[in-house]
Structure 1
Amino acid sequence: MYNILNPQQIQSFITDGFIRIDHAFSADLACAARDILWKDIPANPDDSSTWTQPVVWLGMYTEEPFIQAANTAILHSAFDQLVGKEKWIPCRSMGAFPVRFPSEIDSGDTGWHVDASFPGADPHDFFAARVNVYSKGRGLLMLFLFSDVSELDAPTRILKGSHLDVAKLLEPEGEEGLSFMELAKKLAELPKREEALAIGKAGTVYLCHPFLVHAAQRHCGLTPKFMAQPPLLIRGTFDINRAGPCSPVEEAIRTALSSSHI
Structure 2
Amino acid sequence: MPTTEHLGLTSHEVQDFIDHGFVKIENAFSTELAQQCRNELWADIGLSPDQPDTWIRPVIRVGSKASPPFIEAANTDLLHKAYDQLVGVGRWLAPRGLGTFPIRFPSPDSPGDDGWHVDVSFGLDNPDFMEWRANVRSSGRALLMLFLLSDVGPNDAPTRIRKGSHPTLARELLPYGDAGATLRQLSANGYVSTEDCEVELATGAAGTVYLCHPFLVHAAQPHRGTQPRFMAQPPLLPRGEFDPALPPSPVQIAIRRACGLTL
Q: Is TM > 0.5 for Structure 1 vs Structure 2?
A: yes
Residue 162 of structure 2 contacts residue 194 of structure 2 at CA under 8 Å; is this kept in 1?
Answer: no
1:97 and 2:71 are equivalent in the alignment: no
For 1:149 and 1:8, the matched residues in 2 are separated by 25
For 1:73 and 1:58, the matched residues in 2 are separated by 26
Q: Deviations over 1:133-190 (max 9, x none)?
A: 0000100000000000000000000001000100000000001111122212241234
Describe how 1:178-197 pairs up with structure 2 within 5 A: 178-186=181-189, 187-190=191-194, 192-197=196-201
Describe how 1:45-194 pairs up with structure 2 within 5 A: 45-119=49-123, 122-186=125-189, 187-190=191-194, 192-194=196-198
**C-alpha displacement of 1:80:** 0.3
1:232 and 2:236 are equivalent in the alignment: yes
- Structure 1 residue runs of 5 or longer lacking an equivalent are none
Q: Deviations over 1:226-256 (max 9, x none)?
A: 00001000022224xx488310000000011
- Flag the 1:182–1:42 CA change in 2: closer, same or farther, 3 A: farther
Which range moves more in the overlay, 124-133 or 166-175? 124-133
Which of 233, 253, 256 matches 1:251?
253
**C-alpha displacement of 1:92:** 0.4
Amino acid at match of 1:127: M
Match of 2:38 in 1: 34
For 2:198 and 2:8, the matched residues in 1 are separated by 27
Residue 168 of structure 2 contacts residue 193 of structure 2 at CA under 8 Å; is this kept in 1?
Answer: no
**C-alpha displacement of 1:191:** 5.5
For 2:195 and 2:34, the matched residues in 1 are separated by 37
- Structure 2 residue runs of 5 or longer lacking an equivalent are none
DSSP-derived class of the 2:37 partner: helix
Structure 1 outlier segments of 4+, above 6 Å: none
For 2:192 and 2:182, the matched residues in 1 are separated by 16
TM (norm. structure 2) is 0.93
Amino acid at match of 1:154: A
**C-alpha displacement of 1:123:** 3.1
Amino acid at match of 1:140: L
Which of 22, 29, 49 matches 2:26?
22
Question: Aligned residues, how many?
Answer: 256
Which range moves more in the overlay, 125-134 or 227-236? 125-134
Q: Percent identity?
A: 53
Q: Deviations over 1:87-126 (max 9, x none)?
A: 0001002020000000011111000000011115x43433
Amino acid at match of 2:92: W
**C-alpha displacement of 1:45:** 1.7
Q: Deviations over 1:180-238 (max 9, x none)?
A: 22212241234510000000000000000000000000000000000000100002222
Amino acid at match of 1:91: P
